Structure formats: C-alpha cells, structure tokens
A and B are shown apart, each in its own frame.
Chain A
Amino acid sequence: MENRDPIYVWWDIQSCRLPYGYEPLRVHVAVKSAMRNLGFFGPIDYVAVAVKGWSYGDTLYRIETTGFRIKREYAWQSCSMFIRNNISEWMHSHEPPAVAVIISCDKGLGSLVNRLRVEGFKTCIIYVPAFTSDRLISVPNFSLLWSDVLANAPLVDPREYGLPLREVRAEAIYVHPSQKSVAVTVGMDLRVFDLMSCRKDSTNTRVIRYGASGKFFVCASNDGWVNIWSAESWHRLHTMVALAIAIRSNDSHVCYADTRGDVWVVELDGIDECKVSPSNKTARLLFRSSSIVTKLDFSPDGRYILSADGDFKIRVNVFPKKPLEGAHEIQSICLGHKASITCIAFVWNSEVTERFLSGSDDSTVRLWDISSGSLLHTCDISTMAEYIEVNESEPPAQVKVTDMCTIPNSSLAIVAIQRFPGILLLSCTTSISIKKVIHIPGDSFIPTSISLSGSMKLLWMVSRPSNPPVSKHPGVTRVKAMPCIEAELSSILGDDQIPGGTKLLEQLQGKVPTEDCGECSTRSHESGNV
C-alpha cells in the first residue's frame, strides 16, 4: 500500500544552491520523484529560504510559481536559523506520521533531526557532500545527495519557456591520451564522443581532465561539482565539489580545489571501479591556499603539484609520499604575473625538464624553473594585437592567453589567444620566442581551447562561433583538428578527414539547422585547402 503521509520540504537555497543549467521550475518535480523513489506519495508542502539582497536572478520567482513559499533572511547564517526555528515550531503543531525533508548543508541540524525522529517523524536530509559531516548523514532515516536528487530534474532547454538565455561559457576541448575519445564542453553541456565504439554522451560540465593512462576521466561542472568517471565503462566513481582539478600521471591521485582555496586529494586506488562512493570520506585536505585556486596541475613526473591562485602566484608544492597527511613542503613560489593565470603547461623533453610555462590575462607567457621558482623569461604577446579581430565591446589592447599546450619531447608550445583567429607556436628553451604565427584560414575560427593527443599527433581545437547570434543556436560550436607531425604543424584537416568524421562533429559541435549545416561544411572545405 502506498504511503500517503504528508511531506514537508525546507530548502536552504543559500547553502544548497541550484547548479547552473538546472531549471528552477523542475526542482519540485525532482524532490517529488526522489520522495517517490523512497516510497512516499503524500502531498508535499515546500518552503525555500534565501538571503535578502542576494542576486539569484529569476530563480526565486520561478521557484515560487511552482508552489514554494519563499522566505528571505538577512544572512545565510540566519537562513539555517530560520529553518531550525521553523522546524521546531512545526514539530509542535503537527502530529506524526509526516515526513520532514531538509535540503541544507547546516552541520548543526543533527540534534534537531534526532528530536524529529524521537517524536516519530520520518526524516530525510538532502546534502552537498563537502560541506556536511558524516555524522549528520547517519542521523536521519534517509540521506540523499543533492546532485542525485537533481538528476531527476532533467536539464531543460530554456527556449522551451521563451526565457532569456544565459551567456554560453567558453568552450573547452580535451582529447583522450591515446585518442580513444574526445570531449567538448559548451555552456552547460559536456559532449563526449567515443571514437572506439562510436557512442555519444552528454552531461553538464565545465572542466575535464583525462588521466595519463586514459583510464579515468574527471570533470567539474559549472556549479562546482566534480565527478570522476571511468573512461572505459562510463561509470561515475566519485563526486565532490571543485573549481580546479588535476590527475597525477600514474593515475594514483586526483586533486581538486574547492571554492575556498582548499586543495583536496583523493586516492584513486581506493575507489572501486564500479562502485559510487557516496561522500567525501576518501578526500583529505592536501593544503590550503590563501586565496581561490584557479588552476591545478601535477608535474609530468608526479613530484610536484602546482596551484595558481587569485593572488596571481603559482605555488609549487612537493607532492608527499603520504599525501593523505597533507603537503607541507613548498618547493617554490612563482611570482611575476600581474593578472589571473589561465593555463599551465610543462616543457619536458630529453634535454630540458623541470620547466613550465604559464599563460595569463596580463598578455604574457612566462617560463619558470620548477625547483627554484625563478622566472626565466617573459614573452609579451601583446605585439600580436595587430592580428586580432577588433570587437567594439572590448578594449583593443587586451590580449589574453586563453589556452596552451606543449608538444611532448620537444621544446615547443602551442598557444591560443583571445580574439586571435589562429595559434602561436612558441619555442622555449632558455627563453621564449615566437617561432610561427599560424592563421586558420577561412571564416574566423578563434580557438578557445586546444588539446593535443599524445599518440596520434593531432591538435584538436574548439571555438566559439563568432558569426551566428548566440541566441539562435546557443550550443553550436566548431571543432577542428590539425596534424602535428615531427613538431611541425601542417594544414587543418577537412571535416571528413577528422577521425570519427562527420558523426563526431555532429555530436561535438551540436546540431545546426540544415541550411547552416551546408554552409558549415563548405566553409571547412575551403579552410582544408591551405
């Protein structure tokens, strides 16, 4: 027989935010179906608490239209206080049986939930793992991951509702080390094309990383969630909250940085191939940065972990033998950048090791020595300004480095620059020099992200479409590949020459209405004949 007990939901919007790309109108559906999965079919009463003056966009308004009662408090602490007081009052005016569902990260809820259980109410906590203690999760009858609950609310196309679109984020492209699959992030989408079995996959994501062996695949989504996936079986192995991620070259550890500048380490041996571990039990604090971490990377030999932070410095930490006890030894601190650091790449060949490059919004690429942290050379790329497409909305002098990768076993690096329709080939030995400026012919293809596949010597590039208005085809992007043989870049491959062919492009670039599609393919044929 169905359980028809009334269900009461309290949602602390401030601590359990609605991830980017999720539709507020669907939250009540998500909660409802989560409760049905648990066996509760009763009527649901919703209360959501938000902070006054905080900008939630139209989220609150849209939640309200689905039957949530909205309370506004002056600070996030008072949000959790409101929920506690409201539940205490509710407890006295209601009789069991009833179900209390609390969507919150408030660690102090333990005793209240305990009291509810003693009174005879059923309790359920929906939480975000990194901000909740294991003890709290064990107290209620049920505890669910906020991400799992929201998975019941499928991502929707805002255009269905005739709503304005948010700006599409910069695209990024990542290639499996032996080119078994290619992944592209576009706005809220992660598009993966598996070249081996030709299957497609798509979720919402921002940052992705492949492990060097290609066994794992880590992605961080826009709202800060990180999932570790198995790149072979496409199982989700672990979930956490992060802004930047790094995988050690021997696949032994994954490190990630959260929103407060704390860097955590997860031992991958501890994660079972097919089992999803529910909390961050295995994640330990590696070190803490004094400001937000924007980029995280392991050196190719796995000895160091580098973190770029909001104070424009790169901290090189020795990765300890026992990483779960924390990394306390700082090898060096690289100071010199005057703006946010966007990319890090290692120069690692038979002659030169322990060197790395960093690119930044201050329009420089800098070469550093890892162990001493000394700045070996600064290459100013603002001289490239003459090649750059002028956009009236932005000041013309700004030349930001958007992405960079080094060609293994050489001293060359490939750099992508904001608003430059092409790439730069830099030679970096003891200093950096611009070896070649490569224009990508045809329509203005400005790479926003580049990725080099190790074995196949192919440079993959993705761009944000420049001409079609974003509102018309929001998720449409362009993917191109360029062979890179003997450290020499040759001409761009035509669409049909790309591994995976048009099938891959269709998946990664997104669907374009037919008339545009024809235009696209002719364009790329033009650009193929360099």
Chain B
Amino acid sequence: MDTETKPTFSKSTGLPRKKFYRARAHSNPLSDSHFPIPISPSHVDLSLHFPKANNEASKKIEFADIGCGFGGLLISLATLFPDRLMIGMELRDKVTEYVKERILALRKTSSEGEYENISVVRTNSMKYIPNYFEKGQLSKMFFLFPDPHFKEKNHRRRVISVDLLDEYAYVLRGGGIVYTITDVEELGEWMKSCLEKHPMFESLTQEELDSDPVVELLCSATEEGQKVARNGGQTFRAIFRRIAYVS
C-alpha cells in the first residue's frame, strides 16, 4: 500500500487523517447488524489480525478495548505490553476503518516491528463478545468514555449493565480487570453501582490503582480523555477485578 498516493493520509506523518473518518457519536447497539461475525471463538483468524506477531499457536488475545474509538489507548498499550495480543472493538464503520489504517501505517513506519500486537474489529460487543472470546480468555477489558445514553428508556443500550457484566465476567479470567472511565458523572455513578452490585467483581484498592501503569493511560492516551483534560473537565473511574464466585 502506498500512503503517498492516498489523500486521506497526512503527508508528514504517513498516518491517516481523522477528518476523513468522522462519524456520528451515537449508534444503536441493539439493532441488528450486517457485518460478519465469527461462529465461535475458534473461528477468529488471528493470522489476519496479527500477521507478524511472533506468536506461538497457543497465543490468544488478552486485552479487549470495547468501543475503542480512534484507538489512542490501544496504541499506547501496544508498546507498554509488547508481548500481549490486544484488540479494539468498535461499532462505527468509519471509525474502525480509521483505526485499521492507523495501525497499518504505524506498523509500516515503526522500525522495531512494533504495533504488531494490536488490531481492531468492527463488531457489536454488546451482542457478540462470546463469539470472539472463550471463557476466561481476557485479562483486561476497557470501557473508556462510553456513550452515556441519558434517557432512562435507553439505559438498556449502556455498555455496562448488571446483565452484560455476566458476559464480561465470563470472558474475563479470575483476577482480570475491568477499567471504566467517563466524564459524565451520572454514568460514572451508574457504572460503579453496576460493578458493585455484581457478585463477581470487587473494587481495586488505592495502592493497586497507584501501582498499575494502565490507570494513568485511561485519561492521557485516549482522544476523549485528552479532550476532557483540554476543557478542564472531571473524569470518573471505576476499576474492578473479576473474582471467583460460587453461586
């Protein structure tokens, strides 16, 4: 692929330019979708997503960024955890396309073979998470600045709810961590209360939060987080661990 000839790419950095990939901020996650969905996790073709990652056959995706947006967090995590495979999931077509181009461009420009461990997929994570991951496959899940869905009748569309946490708990291994952050206080309260209510999640202590390098990235690495910081806004975090549980 020759980036020089593509008008949607920046000439100086070789990266795709965001202004050609704008999309509506909202998307109805409950509507039926028309993109291909793997029949089961064993049907996910990793070689398509990570062609050069020096992975043994047993290597599996460990981090999932749900609603990855323009992919800022993924790109920061890629260098922080170079030996882990991670995937971003995004419902909006154009945005997914942007992240894909961005990762390909980064892989091309990187001299040390970086960014081979990240990829993106267009999917509806509220419906098809179990089609991508086996039970206990993931160690980290990210829900950064999700759509707040203010109206009460749209609360079913929120990406964090007690019911969806059942599914997230299923794909997370024991000790796996869910990171959530938002700039909307009401949603922050909602996500926190859902996680507190759920019997399979417990809150991280302050020391654990301080020692986790990822926590800082939640705000600084994402495009939404930078926007909030620029405007001097507040953010609300809820970071919980998946615990073993006998029902």
**1/0 contact string of A256-293 vs chain B (CB within 8 Å):** 00000000000000000000000000000001101100
Which residues of B in the span 128-142 have a Cβ within 8 Å of any Cβ on A? 128, 130-131, 135
Which of the 9-residue segments A151-159, A331-339, A349-357, A519-527 touches chain B? A331-339
Given A318-B247, A326-B162, check contact A333 B127 (CB 8 Å): no
Which of B130, B162, B198, B247 is close to A335, meaning CB atoms less than 8 Å apart?
B130
Q: Which residue of B lies closest to A320 (CB)?
A: B247
Chain A residues near B39: list those with CB within 8 A.
335-336, 338
A390 lies within 8 A of chain B by Cβ: no
A73 lies within 8 A of chain B by Cβ: no
Across the interface, do A330 and B170 meet the contact criterion of CB distance under 8 Å? yes
Q: Which residue of A lies closest to B133 (CB)?
A: A333
A84 lies within 8 A of chain B by Cβ: no
Given A288-B163, A320-B247, A335-B40, check contact A328 B130 (CB 8 Å): no
Chain B residues near A6: list those with CB within 8 A.
none
Given A311-B127, A328-B198, A335-B39, check contact A287 B163 (CB 8 Å): yes
**1/0 contact string of A336-370 vs chain B (CB within 8 Å):** 10100000000000000000000000000000000
Q: How many residues of A contact B (CB 8 A)?
A: 24
Within the assembled complex, what's the spacing in Å between the Cα atoms of A255 and B131?
Answer: 26
Q: Smallest CB–CB gap between A398 and chain B, Å? A: 19
Within the assembled complex, what's the spacing in Å between the Cα atoms of A329 and B163?
Answer: 11
Chain B residues near A290: list those with CB within 8 A.
126-127, 164, 167
**1/0 contact string of B172-202 vs chain A (CB within 8 Å):** 0000000000000000000000000011100
Chain B residues near A315: list those with CB within 8 A.
130
A373 lies within 8 A of chain B by Cβ: yes
Chain A residues near B198: list those with CB within 8 A.
328
Chain B residues near A317: list those with CB within 8 A.
166
Q: Which residue of B lies closest to A373 (CB)?
A: B135
Chain B residues near A313: list those with CB within 8 A.
130-131
Across the interface, do B131 and A328 meet the contact criterion of CB distance under 8 Å? no
Within the assembled complex, what's the spacing in Å between the Cα atoms of A326 and B164?
Answer: 13
Chain A residues near B169: list those with CB within 8 A.
328-330
Chain A residues near B199: list those with CB within 8 A.
328
**1/0 contact string of B149-162 vs chain A (CB within 8 Å):** 00000000000011
Across the interface, do B128 and A311 meet the contact criterion of CB distance under 8 Å? yes
Within the assembled complex, what's the spacing in Å between the Cα atoms of A333 and B126?
Answer: 15
Among B126, B127, B165, B169, find the residue whose CB has the most chain A CB atoms closer than 10 A: B127
Across the interface, do A328 and B135 meet the contact criterion of CB distance under 8 Å? no
Chain B residues near A311: list those with CB within 8 A.
127-128
Within the assembled complex, what's the spacing in Å between the Cα atoms of A338 and B198?
Answer: 32
Within the assembled complex, what's the spacing in Å between the Cα atoms of A313 and B128?
Answer: 10
Q: How many residues of B contact A (CB 8 A)?
A: 23
Across the interface, do A329 and B247 meet the contact criterion of CB distance under 8 Å? yes
Across the interface, do A336 and B166 meet the contact criterion of CB distance under 8 Å? no
A94 lies within 8 A of chain B by Cβ: no
Among A291, A326, A338, find the residue whose CB has the most chain B CB atoms closer than 10 A: A326
Within the assembled complex, what's the spacing in Å between the Cα atoms of A281 and B135?
Answer: 34
Chain A residues near B162: list those with CB within 8 A.
326, 328
Chain A residues near B166: list those with CB within 8 A.
287, 317, 327-330
Q: Smallest CB–CB gap between A121 and chain B, Å? A: 30
Across the interface, do B167 and A330 meet the contact criterion of CB distance under 8 Å? yes
Within the assembled complex, what's the spacing in Å between the Cα atoms of A254 and B126?
Answer: 27
Within the assembled complex, what's the spacing in Å between the Cα atoms of A290 and B135?
Answer: 17
Among B128, B163, B167, find the residue whose CB has the most chain A CB atoms closer than 10 A: B163
Across the interface, do A329 and B245 meet the contact criterion of CB distance under 8 Å? yes
Within the assembled complex, what's the spacing in Å between the Cα atoms of A202 and B172?
Answer: 49
Chain A residues near B161: list those with CB within 8 A.
288
**1/0 contact string of A289-300 vs chain B (CB within 8 Å):** 011000000000
Chain B residues near A332: list those with CB within 8 A.
135
Across the interface, do A327 and B130 meet the contact criterion of CB distance under 8 Å? no
Within the assembled complex, what's the spacing in Å between the Cα atoms of A332 and B167?
Answer: 10
**1/0 contact string of B227-247 vs chain A (CB within 8 Å):** 000000000000000000101
Within the assembled complex, what's the spacing in Å between the Cα atoms of A377 and B20?
Answer: 48
**1/0 contact string of B197-223 vs chain A (CB within 8 Å):** 011100000000000000000000000
B41 lies within 8 A of chain A by Cβ: yes
Q: Smallest CB–CB gap between B185 and chain A, Å? A: 25
Across the interface, do B40 and A336 meet the contact criterion of CB distance under 8 Å? yes
Among A288, A321, A332, A338, find the residue whose CB has the most chain B CB atoms closer than 10 A: A288
Across the interface, do B163 and A335 meet the contact criterion of CB distance under 8 Å? no
Across the interface, do B170 and A333 meet the contact criterion of CB distance under 8 Å? yes
Within the assembled complex, what's the spacing in Å between the Cα atoms of A319 and B199?
Answer: 14
Chain A residues near B200: list those with CB within 8 A.
328-329
Q: Which residue of B lies closest to A260 (CB)?
A: B156
Within the assembled complex, what's the spacing in Å between the Cα atoms of A338 and B135?
Answer: 21
Q: Smallest CB–CB gap between B21 and chain A, Å? A: 28
Which residues of A in the span 355-393 have a Cβ within 8 Å of any Cβ on B? 373, 375
Q: Which residue of B lies closest to A285 (CB)?
A: B163
Q: Smallest CB–CB gap between B153 and chain A, Å? A: 9
Within the assembled complex, what's the spacing in Å between the Cα atoms of A338 and B43?
Answer: 13
Which residues of A in the span 173-213 have a Cβ within 8 Å of any Cβ on B? none
Q: Smallest CB–CB gap between A321 and chain B, Å? A: 7
Within the assembled complex, what's the spacing in Å between the Cα atoms of A375 and B42?
Answer: 11
Across the interface, do A333 and B135 meet the contact criterion of CB distance under 8 Å? yes
Q: Which residues of B contact A (CB under 8 A)?
A: 39-41, 126-128, 130-131, 135, 161-167, 169-170, 198-200, 245, 247
Sorted nearest first, the 10 A-B pairs with minimum C-beta distance are A288-B163, A335-B40, A320-B247, A330-B170, A333-B130, A329-B247, A290-B127, A318-B247, A328-B166, A328-B199
Q: What are 21 A-B interface contacts by the 8 Å CB criterion? A: A288-B161, A288-B163, A290-B126, A311-B127, A317-B166, A318-B247, A327-B166, A327-B247, A328-B162, A328-B245, A329-B166, A329-B169, A329-B245, A329-B247, A330-B135, A330-B166, A333-B130, A335-B39, A335-B131, A338-B39, A375-B40
Q: Which residues of A contact B (CB under 8 A)?
A: 287-288, 290-291, 311, 313, 315, 317-321, 326-330, 332-333, 335-336, 338, 373, 375
In the complex, given contacts A327-B166, A328-B199, what are 19 additional A-B residue pairs having Cβ atoms less than 8 angstroms apart? A287-B166, A290-B126, A290-B127, A311-B127, A313-B131, A319-B247, A326-B162, A328-B162, A328-B169, A328-B200, A328-B247, A329-B245, A330-B170, A333-B130, A333-B135, A335-B41, A335-B131, A336-B39, A375-B40
